[in-house]
Chain A
Amino acid sequence: MSDSTNLNIAVIGGGPGGYAAAFLAADLGMTVTLIDPELNPGGVCLYRGCIPSKALLHVAKLLEESHQAKDWGIEFAAPKVDLVRLRSFKENIVKKLTGGLGVLSKQRKVRYVQGHAAFENSTRLRVAKNDGTEESLSFDRIIIATGSRPAVVPTLKLDTPRMMDSTGGLNLEDIPGTLLVVGGGYIGLELGSVYAALGTRVTVVEMLSGLLPGADRDLVLPLHKRLEKMFDSILLNTTVASVKDEGNGIRATLKAQDGSAQEKVFDRVLVSVGRKPNSEIPGLEKTRVRVGQRGFIQVNKQLQTDDPAVYAIGDVVGEPMLAHKASHEGRTAVEAIAGHKVAFEPHAIPAVVFTDPEVAWCGLTETQAQKENREIKVAKFPWAASGRAITLDRPEGMTKLIFDPHTERVLGVGIVGVGAGEMIAEGVLAIEMAAVATDIALSIHPHPTLSETVMESAEVFFGTSTHIYRPKRG
C-alpha cells in the first residue's frame, strides 16, 4: 500500500471547504491540485457571500447607530453615500482576503488551476481552463467542494437587472427607492438591512408564519421588532404570486394566506429563497457517486461518497450550508484520506444571522426539544439586566441556555443581541466539552461585557443569578 502522504489529490472548488481541505492535505505532505474558476481561492463565501455582506452590514450598523446617536446627544447631518467608494471598500476587502489565500496556496505548493473540472472517471478529471486550454489529470483521491448557488424560482424569473439574487444584491449597483425581499431567511434579512440602512424602503415577504424559520421564536422576536421599524413592512404567510417587468419597476402580486392579494411596484426585487447544491458536475455519472433527491451528494461520516476514491464536502453534501461546517468537513475528509480514524460528528454547529441585533444559536433548540418531546430546562437571562447592554443602549437582547435537567449539561445555546455572533462560540465550546451548568457559573467572565450574560444564565438555572431576583417558591 502506498503511503497516504504520497497521495495525489484534487479538490474541485476553492471555497472555505475546498481551500481548507487543500491546505491541510498539502500540510500533510500530499500533492494537491485545487481547481476553481476564480482568480484565487475564496468561493462564494469570500467573493459574493459572507465577507462582502459583512462589510456592508458593518456600514449599515454605523448608519443606524448614527441615527440612534441623537438619543445620546450627538447629532449627525444626513449621511452622504458615495456608492463607488462603498463598493470599492467592499471589493478591496474581497481582493485582500482572496489574494492572501492565493499566497497561502502558493506557499504550500498547492497547484491552483483556474477552470472547470469534469469527471472522466473516479480518478481522472478533465479541466477546461479559463485560458481556453484543456488538461486531463489523474489523481488518487478527488474531493468535491463545489458548494451551492442561489435557488431560482421560475415564476420569479425576469430578465432585468431589477430582479436580483444575493449576488446581484451584493453588487450594490444603486440604492433603489423600494425593494421587495422574497424570503425572510438570513440572506434576505441581512441584505434587506443593508439596503434599508442606505435609505431604501424595504418590504419582506415570507411564506411561513415567522422570520428565520427554524430558529426559536423568542430569539427572533427582538429582531423582528427592530426590523419592523427599519423596514416598510414584513408580510408573513405571504407569497409572491407573480412579477411583471413594467420598465420603470417590477409589479409584484403578493398573495396572503387568507387569499387576499395586493399589487405593488418595486424598483428592485431580491429573491433569497434558499440555496441549491452544485452537484450537476459533468461526468459525475461516470463515477459511483450518488446524488440524493434534493441534489445533495450522499456521503458517509468520513465524507466519502459511494465511490471510494471520491469525497465530497460542504454545501454540496447537505445542510447546514455554512462555511464553517464546510471547512470542518474539508479537514475531516483529508484526515480520513490520510488514513486517520476520524469522523464528522460535531455536537454543535453554530448558526449566526448577522442582522442588528444578531441572532445566533447552536446545539439543541427549544423547538427541536419540543418536537422530540425531550425533557429540558431552559435558563434565560434578559439583557435588560446586563450593564454592558445598557451602556450600549441595546437592552433588547437575551441569552438562553438549554440544559438536560438531570445531568445539568448544556445541550443548546441561543443568543439574540448585538455581538451574539461572537458570543456563540462559548456556547459551542460548552456543548462540545460537555460542560454542566456549574462549570459555566463558576467560570469568571469579564465585567462589564455581554459575555457575562452566559455566566448569569447558568446562575439562573440554579435560581441564584446576581442581577435577577427571583422570589423563592413555596
Chain B
Amino acid sequence: MTELIEFKLPELGENISQGDLVRLMVEPGATVNAGQSVMELETDKAVVEVPSSVSGTVQEIRVKEGEKIKVGQVIFTVDGAETKAEAAGQGQTATPASAVKETPAAAVSQQKPKPAPAVPAPAPSVAPPSAPSSAPSGSSEFKLPELGENISQGDLVRLMVSAGTKVSEGQPVMELETDKAVVEVPSSVSGVVKEIKVKEGEKIKVGQVIFTLESAAPAEPSRPRSAPVEHVSGQHGARLAFQAAIRAEGKTEEQALPPDQPQQPIPAFSMPAQLEKVAGTEHRQPVPAAPHVRRLAREVGVDIYEVKGSGPGGRISEDDVKAYAKSLVTAAATAQATPQAGHFRQPQLPDFAKWGKVERVSMRGVRRKTAEHLSEAWNTIPHVTQHDRADITELEQLRARFAPKAEEAGGKMTVTAIALKVCAAALKVFPQFNASIDIEKEEIVYKQYINIGVAADTDRGLLVPVIRDVDKKNIVELAVELSGLSKKARDKKLTPSDMEGGTFTITNLGGIGGIGFTPIVNFPEVAILGISRSRMEPEWIQGKDGGKFEPRLILPLSLSYDHRLIDGADAARFLRWIAEAFEQPFLLSVQG
C-alpha cells in the first residue's frame, strides 16, 4: 500500500514563524532522504537551507518559490512506501493530501533533523492554484501562471495542445504575447488534456484556466454525472439549479432521471425563470436602455454598460450613447496627437495580387512586437550613428589564450563577451549613456546599475536577453552567462524577466559580415553599440624610423545614440574610449 507522508516546515528557531521560499531544490519524482537540504528559506534573520525530515519520492509540491511559508505548512508529500513506519509514536501525523483521495491516511514518524518538528499537523493547506497535483485526481486544471512582475495578462498567440493531447510538466503548451514579449508558457501539470478553455487571439489573465485535464483514473466511480463540464455558464447554471432543486426535494438525480439515459437530465419544466439562463446572455444585470439604444451602442462600438444614463433611473438615451461615443473619439484623438505612432499607421496598400501571387502570413508574435517597438523607438529618438574602428590584434591573442578558461566554465570567449565588459566600463565613465529620458517630468534618469542587452537572432526573430550587473562580473562569467542566455533564446525558453531591465544594448552582426551599420536604439535606452566583422587590414604604423603598413585585425564599431541626450562629441569620445579599451585591455583596470 502506498502511504503519503507530508513534509512540513519544521520549527526554525525562536521567534521565527515563517519565511520566504527562495529556492526549492526538489521536484516531483525526486528522491529525498532525511537530512538532505530541500529548500532555501529567507527568514527575518538569515537565509537558511532546510533539510528534509522525511525520505521517499516526492509526489506533490505544495508551495511555490517566492511564497511566504509558515512553520507547519506542508511543503511537499512523499510516497513513503520505502520508509519504515514506526507507527504513530512521535507526533507528526500525515494527513492525506487533499487531492489524493484514494490513499488512506497514514500515521508515520520521521527521523528527526536537529530542530524537532514537533508541530501538530494543521489541516492540509490548500495547494496554490498554479501548482495543481500531478497525482491522479478527479480532474485538474492548468491555469496561466505568474509571468513576471506587472504582467497580468497576455494575448494567446498559439495554443500547442488540443483536447486529447498528452502534456507533461514543463512542456510548452502555448505562446503568449505580453506587453513585453512573446513567451512560451510551459505546463505545470501532467496528463491528458480534456477541455481547452481559451481560444487563440483571446486575452488571458493570470490565474485563468487554460485547460482541464482528464483524470488518469476515475476518482469516484459513484459520481458518474453529477459534475457536468458545460461551457456556457447559463446552461450550466440551469443545470445546477435543477440539481439543487432535486436535492432540495430529497431526491438524487438518479431517482429523478431514468438511469439508463446518462446524457438526458430532463427538467420537469423548461420555461424560463430568468434571463441569465438563456443561451448566450451573460450574467450582467439588464442595462437601463431601450433596445434601439442598445443596438445603436453596438453599432458605434460602445459598450452600453460604460455609458452613464441621464434619464430617470439612469435610463440611457440615444443622445447619451452619442455623447459618450464622441467623448471616446475626442479622447482617442488627443491620445493620437501626442507623438505615438507606434501602432503602424500607414497609407493604404496597393493590391499586390494584381502583379502576381502573394502569400499573407500573420504578423502576430515576435515580429509584430519588434515592428511596434522599433517604430516607436525610431519615431521617438532622433538617431545619430557614430562609426569607429578598434585594432584588436593584441586582444585577439589574449582571447585565444583565455578561451579554454571560458570553455572550462561552460562559456565561449567571444568578442561579444569581451564587448560586454568593455561597454560596462565605458558606461561607468560616461553615465549619460546609461540613462533614460523622462520627457513628461523633464528629467534624465541615470541608472546606478549596468544591465546590458545582447540582441539575439533566433528563428522566431530578434530577441534581446539582458545580462544583469555586467560591471560586477568578469569576462569568463559573462561568457558563461551569455552562452546560457543564447541557448535559452534559441530554445524559446526566455521569460519576460530575462528580457527586461536593460540599460544599454550590444548587437553583433560580425558573425555574418558587414563593415558597419546603423542600429536602432532600444528605447527607452539611449545608445546601442553595433559590432561588425573584424578583418585584417593594412594599418600605417608610425615607428622611429618612419612608418610602415602592418596587417592588423580591425573591428568596426557603430554607435547609435539618442541625440536629445547625447552630444556628438560625447558620442565620439565614448566610442573612442571603447575602441581604445579593445586595443588596450589594460584601460579596463585603470579606468573601468
Partner of A214, one of B258, B269, B278, B312: B269
Which single residue of chain B is at the shortest CB-CB distance from A186?
B271
**What residues of chain A lie closer than 8 Å to B276, measured between beta carbons?**
368
Tell me if A274 is interfacial: C-beta within 8 Å of chain B.
yes
- The answer to whether A273 and B266 touch (CB under 8 A), given A207-B256, A300-B280, A343-B298, is yes
Q: Is the CB of B235 within 8 A of A318?
A: yes
Contacts of B263 in A (CB 8 A): 293-295
Residue of B nearest to A349 (CB): B272
State whether A318 and B313 are in contact (beta carbons under 8 Å apart), knowing that A274-B270, A301-B281, A411-B286 are contacts in the complex. Answer: no
Q: Once the chains are docked, how many angstroms separate the CA of A273 from the CA of B294? A: 37
Interface residues in A279-315 by Cβ distance below 8 A to B read 290, 292-296, 298-301, 303
Residue among B281, B288, B298 making CB contact with A341, cutoff 8 Å: B298
Residues from 383 to 398 in B contacting A, C-beta threshold 8 Å: none
B312 touches A436 (CB 8 A): yes
Determine if A154 and B271 form an interchain contact, defined as CB atoms under 8 angstroms apart.
Answer: no
Instruction: A212 to B315: give the CA distance in the assembly, Å.
Output: 33
Verify if B118 is at the interface (C-beta below 8 Å from A). Answer: no
Do B279 and A318 have beta carbons less than 8 Å apart? yes
Docked-complex contact B266 and A276, CB < 8 angstroms: yes
Question: What is the CA–CA distance of A147 and B290 in the complex, to the nearest angstrom?
Answer: 29
- B274 touching A207, Cβ below 8 Å: no
Which one of B269, B281, B282, B290 has the highest number of Cβ atoms from chain A below 10 Å of its Cβ?
B269
* Segment touching B, from A191-199, A319-327, A419-427: A319-327
Mask for B287-328, Cβ within 8 A of A = 1, else 0?
111110011001101000000000111111000000000000
User: Which of A296, A319, A340, A368 has the most C-beta atoms of chain B within 10 angstroms of its own C-beta?
Assistant: A319
A349 to B276 alpha-carbon distance, docked (Å): 11
Alpha-carbon gap, A231 to B278, bound state (A): 33
CB distance from B253 to the nearest CB of A (A): 11
Question: Please, how many angstroms separate the alpha-carbon atoms of A351 and B266 in the complex?
Answer: 19
Give Cα A4–Cα B300 distance, bound, in whole angstroms: 19
A24-32, A34-42, A123-131, A402-410: which lies at the B interface? A402-410
Nearest residue, chain B, Cβ from A209: B249
**Is there a chain A Cβ closer than 8 Å to B589's Cβ?**
no
B362 within 8 A of A: no
Give the complex CA separation of A439 and B268 in angstroms.
Answer: 37
CB contact between B271 and one of A214, A348, A433, A438 (< 8 Å): that residue: A214
Task: Assess the A322–B264 pair: CB atoms within 8 A.
Answer: no
The smallest C-beta distance from B349 to any residue of chain A, in angstroms, reads 16
Q: Are A319 and B313 in touch, CB under 8 angstroms?
A: no
Pair A434/B315 contact, Cβ less than 8 Å:
yes
B313 in contact with A215 (CB, 8 Å): no
Q: Find out whether the CB atom of B299 lies under 8 angstroms from the CB atom of A341.
A: yes
Partner of A409, one of B256, B281, B313: B313
Task: Name the prevailing secondary structure of the B interface residues.
Answer: loop
CB of A139 within 8 Å of the partner chain? no
> A185, B271: Cβ atoms under 8 Å?
yes
Complex alpha-carbon distance, A114 and B83, angstroms: 74
Whether B255 is near chain A, meaning CB under 8 Å from some CB there, is yes
Inter-chain CA distance A404–B285, complex, in Å, is: 11
Inter-chain CA distance A215–B273, complex, in Å, is 6
Indicate if B238 sits at the interface (CB-CB under 8 A).
yes
Given the interface pairs A154-B261, A319-B235, the reply to whether A293 lies near B230 with Cβ below 8 Å is yes
Contact A208 B271 (CB under 8 A): no
Residues of chain B in range 208-235 having any CB-CB distance to chain A below 8 Å: 228-232, 234-235
- Cβ-defined contact, B235 with A345, below 8 A: no
Whether the pair A349, B299 counts as a contact (CB closer than 8 A) is no
Contact between B290 and A303, CB atoms less than 8 A apart: no
Contact A407 B314 (CB under 8 A): yes
Residue of B whose beta carbon sits closest to that of A189: B269
* Complex alpha-carbon distance, A151 and B261, angstroms: 11
Chain A contact-residue range equals: 35 or more
Interface status of B265 (Cβ within 8 A of chain A):
yes
Contact A409 B288 (CB under 8 A): yes
**A346 at interface (Cβ–Cβ under 8 A)?**
yes
Chain B contacts for A344, CB-based, 8 A: 278, 280-281
User: Among A185, A319, A342, A404, which residue has its beta carbon within 8 angstroms of that of B278?
Assistant: A319
- Asked if A257 is at the interface of the complex by the 8 Å CB criterion, the answer is yes
A227 within 8 A of B: no
Asked if B329 is at the interface of the complex by the 8 Å CB criterion, the answer is: no
**Does A81 lie at the interface of the complex (its beta carbon under 8 Å from any beta carbon of B)?**
no
Cβ contacts A165-208/B at 8 Å (1 or 0 each)? 00000000000000000011110000000000000000000111
> Does any Cβ of A come within 8 Å of B260's Cβ?
yes
Residue numbers in B under 8 Å from A54 (CB-CB): none
Of B232, B249, B278, which contacts A298 at CB under 8 A?
Answer: B232
Question: Please, how many angstroms separate the alpha-carbon atoms of A351 and B267 in the complex?
Answer: 16
B245 contacts the other chain (Cβ, under 8 Å)? yes
Residues of B close to A443: CB separation below 8 A:
none
Q: Which residues of B contact A432 (CB under 8 A)?
A: 290-291
Q: Check: B277 CB closer than 8 A to any chain A CB.
A: yes
Q: Given the complex of chains A and B, what is the CA–CA distance between A281 and B273 in angstroms?
A: 29
- Within the complex, the shortest CB–CB distance from A416 to chain B, in Å, comes to 14
A215-229 near B? 1/0 per residue, CB < 8 Å: 100000000000000
Q: Which residue of chain A is the closest to B311 with respect to CB atoms?
A: A434
Binds B, one of A66-74, A359-367, A455-463: A359-367
**Bound: A287/B543 CA distance, A:** 83
**A237/B249 in contact, CB under 8 A:** yes
Question: How many Å lie between the Cα of A275 and that of B269 in the bound state?
Answer: 9
Q: Does A153 contact B (CB under 8 A)?
A: yes
Candidates B264, B278, B314; contact of A349 at CB < 8 Å: B278
Q: Is B143's beta carbon under 8 Å from chain A?
A: no
> Could you jot down 15 A-B contacts, CB within 8 Å?
A184-B268, A207-B251, A208-B249, A237-B249, A239-B256, A274-B267, A294-B230, A294-B265, A319-B278, A346-B281, A347-B275, A364-B275, A434-B286, A434-B290, A439-B312
With A214-B269, A296-B232, A320-B271 given, can you name 10 additional A-B contacts, CB distance below 8 Å?
A186-B269, A207-B251, A208-B245, A213-B269, A275-B270, A276-B266, A318-B235, A319-B277, A341-B298, A365-B273
Chain B residues within CB distance 8 Å of chain A: 228-232, 234-235, 238-239, 245-246, 249-251, 255-256, 258, 260-261, 263-282, 286-291, 294-295, 298-299, 301, 311-316
